Amino acid sequence: MSGFRLKLNGLKNIGYASSLQQHLPFNKNLELEYFFDRRWSLVNVQPILINTVVIFLVSFPEGEAEPMALVYNKKEAWADIEKESTGLTEAVGAAIENHYSERYLRDIHLLN
């Protein structure tokens, strides 16, 4: 699990980053805004921890697209574990990454 987080937007070299991950609210839905195809849209994301892997279940309001199950893989790229990854996969993955990066950077700032 720490491997996932330590690869996010410049957080890989923060020594106590793994301790922050303990506060990640798993099994709680997030509503995130993502940018794809020249427009901003909302998506619902539910992070689930299975063993040491974080899987993000993604659903789109009003069925704009098929649901996804995303992981941040060893190649440091977002991948859909159920079907072929696309630009939409990367766009939603970037929104997830930005959400957690902003959260961690804010938490780190508060700790200093």
Q: What is the pLDDT of residue 87?
A: 95
d(Cα 9, Cα 37) in Å, to the nearest integer?
Answer: 23
Note the Cα 62 to chain centre separation in Å: 21
Residue 32 tokens read as: 């995130």
> Which range of residues forms the domain containing residue 10?
2-111
DSSP H helix total and E strand total for the chain? 3, 5
Q: What is the pLDDT of residue 22?
A: 59
Residue 12 tokens read as: 């890989």
Task: Look up the pTM and report it.
Answer: 0.76
Count the helix, strand and coil residues of the chain and give each as a percent rounded to the nearest 5: 35, 30, 35
10 phi, psi to nearest 5 deg: 75, 10
Closest CA to 79 of 54, 48, 104: 54
Number of domains in the chain: 1
Q: What is the pLDDT of residue 67?
A: 95
Q: What is the pLDDT of residue 49?
A: 75
Q: What is the pLDDT along the chain (112 residues), one digit of tens a residue?
A: 344 444 454 445 444 445 555 556 666 788 999 999 999 999 999 988 777 677 889 999 987 789 999 987 777 788 999 999 999 999 999 898 888 777 766 655 554 4
